[in-house]
Amino acid sequence: MSAAFSFPLKQILDYLPPALRSLLEMLSPEQAEELEEIRIKAEAPLLLRFHREEAFLGREGLLPQRDARLYRVSRDELHRTVMLLSDSSFYALEEELRRGYITLPGGHRAGLTGRAVLEKGAIRTLKEISSVNIRVARPVKGAARELLPRLLDAEGRPFQTLIVSPPRAGKTTILRDLSRMFSDGEEVEPLRVGLVDERSELAAMRDGVAQLPVGLRTDVLDGCPKAEGLMLLLRSMSPQLLLCDEIGREEDVQALQEAANAGVKLIASAHGRDEQELLCRPVFARLLAQHCFERIVILSRRLGPGTIERVIEG
C-alpha cells in the first residue's frame, strides 16, 4: 500500500522503526495525503493528526481514543525512532537538541521532549527523550496565489510584510510559495530573493540543493540565525526581497530595520493569533508602532490551513 503514498510520507517512513512503519503503511492514500502530524510517546497510543481531525492507530487502522485495540508504542520503539531520526548521531545534533527539534530531509520537523540537561542555566541538550512529534511538510504550489496581489503596491513591488498565524495555520507554506512566485516571476516581475532558513524548513536544503520549491532566483542561507543571515545576504547577494520565518527576537528586529534602510523589502512571519496578541509582545509592539510593516497578514485554520483572515495596512 505504501507504493501509493505521496512522497512526503514516504520520506518520513524511513525514519520510523519497522513496527510503526508497517502500521502507517495501512493508511489509505487519502489519509496519508491529509496527515499533518505523527505523535509518538512511550507506553502510549500512536496519535495521528489530520487536516480536520485526530485519530489513534491500531493494527486494524484508525481507532477512537478508548479502543482496547490501540497500538501502544514501546520504549524501545521510541528509542529506535530517535536513533533513526538522528541517523544514530546524537553528537551531530547538539544545536538541534538544544532547540528541541530536528529538521529532516524534505523539511519535515521532528519535535522532541525529554529531560533537559542544563549548562549555566541554559538548555545544553535533551536526554531521556519521552515524546516525538513529526510534522509533515508539504509544498503547496499556489498556496500564496490568493494573497500575492494584496502584497503588491501600485507598481507591482512587494510591501514590507509580516505574516501572522498560530502554529499549523500555514505560515511557512505561504512564505515558501511567496518565495517561489516572486523568484520565478509568477504573476509578478521576477526578483532576486534572499531566504534565511534558520530551521531548514522553508527550502529543506540537502547537500546544497533545495528539496522544496523556493524559486530559481532564490539564494538560500541554511541553518543560519535570522539576524546574521539577513545581514550576510544583504552584503553578499544583492537581494531585492528578503524572506525569513518566525521572527521575534530583538536582534531579528534590528536586522529587519537595517534591511529596510537598505531599500530591500522583507517578508517575515511570526507566531500569534492576531494583531492584538502581537501588540502584547514588546518587540512587535515597537515594530508596529514604528510602522515597520506596510502589510500585516493574519492567517488561521478556520477554512483549512492558510485561511486569510485579514490583510491590515501597517
Partner 1 sequence: MSKLLGAILILLACGVAGQWAVQKLKSRVQLLFGLQQGIHSLSKEISYSATGMSQALCRAAEAAGKAAPLFRKAGELLKQGEGLSAGEAWEQAVSAQELLDGELEELLRLPGAGLGLSDRESQARHLELCRERLQEAETQAKSREQQYAKVYQALSWGGGAVLVLFLL
Nearer to partner 1, 109 or 176 (CB): 109
Using only C-alpha atoms, the chain has a radius of gyration, in whole angstroms, of: 20
- State the Cα–Cα distance between residues 201 and 212, nearest whole angstrom: 9
Cβ pair 292, 257 in contact under 8 A: yes
Helix, strand or coil, per DSSP, at residue 300? strand
> 3-state DSSP call for residue 39?
strand
Smaller CB distance to partner 1: residue 15 or 159?
15
- Residue 86 binds partner 1 (CB under 8 A): yes
Locate 198 and state its grid cell.
534558520
Q: Judged by CB under 8 A, does residue 84 bind partner 1?
A: yes
**Distance in Å, CB of 205 to partner 1, minimum:** 15
Helices (H), 143-249: 171-184, 226-236
For residue 87, give the DSSP letter.
T
Question: What 3-state class would DSSP assign to 118?
Answer: strand
Please answer whether residues 310 and 164 qualify as being in contact, where contact means their C-beta atoms are separated by less than 8 angstroms: no
Residue appearing with cell numbers 523556493? 214
Does 232 sit near partner 1 (CB under 8 A)? no
> What are the CA-CA distances from residue 111 to residues 29, 96, 136, 216, 304 (Å)?
25, 10, 11, 30, 23
Q: DSSP alpha helices (H): ranges in the chain? A: 7-13, 18-24, 29-34, 75-85, 94-99, 171-184, 226-236, 250-261, 275-279, 282-289
Task: Out of 94, 128, 153, 187, name the contact with partner 1 by CB under 8 A.
Answer: 94
Query: Nearest Cα to 265, choosing from 153, 177, 176?
Result: 153
Bridge partners for 271 per DSSP: 165
Which one of the spans 9-17, 66-74, 130-138, 242-250 is the region binding partner 1 (CB under 8 A)? 9-17
In the complex, least distance from residue 171 CB atom to partner 1, rounded to whole angstroms: 29
Binding characters for partner 1, 17-56, by CB under 8 A (x = yes): xx--x-----------------------------------
Binding residue (CB under 8 A) for partner 1 from 33, 44, 71, 90: 90
Q: Is 185 in the site for partner 1 (CB under 8 A)?
A: no
- Contact status, residue 196 vs residue 243, Cβ threshold 8 Å: yes
Percent helix, strand, coil in the chain, to 5, is 30, 30, 40
The rounded distance, in Å, linking the Cα atoms of 10 and 31 is 13
- The least distance separating partner 1 from the CB of residue 85, rounded to whole angstroms, comes to 12
Give least dist CB 98 to partner 1, A: 11
Give the residue with the Cβ less far from partner 1, 20 or 296: 20
89 lines the binding site for partner 1 (CB under 8 A) = yes
Least Å from the CB of residue 15 to partner 1: 8
Q: Which stretch binds partner 1 (CB under 8 A): 15-23, 35-43, 48-56, 150-158?
A: 15-23
Which of residues 108 and 180 has its CB atom nearest to partner 1 in the complex? Answer: 108
Among 26, 44, 62, 83, binds partner 1 (CB under 8 A): 83
Which among 10-18, 141-149, 227-235, 268-276 is the span making contact with partner 1, rule CB under 8 A?
10-18
Binder of partner 1 out of 74, 88, 236, 290 (CB under 8 A): 88
| Choice from 64, 91, 154, 235 touching partner 1 (CB under 8 A) | 91
Binding site for partner 1 (CB under 8 A): 14, 16-18, 21, 80, 83-84, 86-92, 94, 125
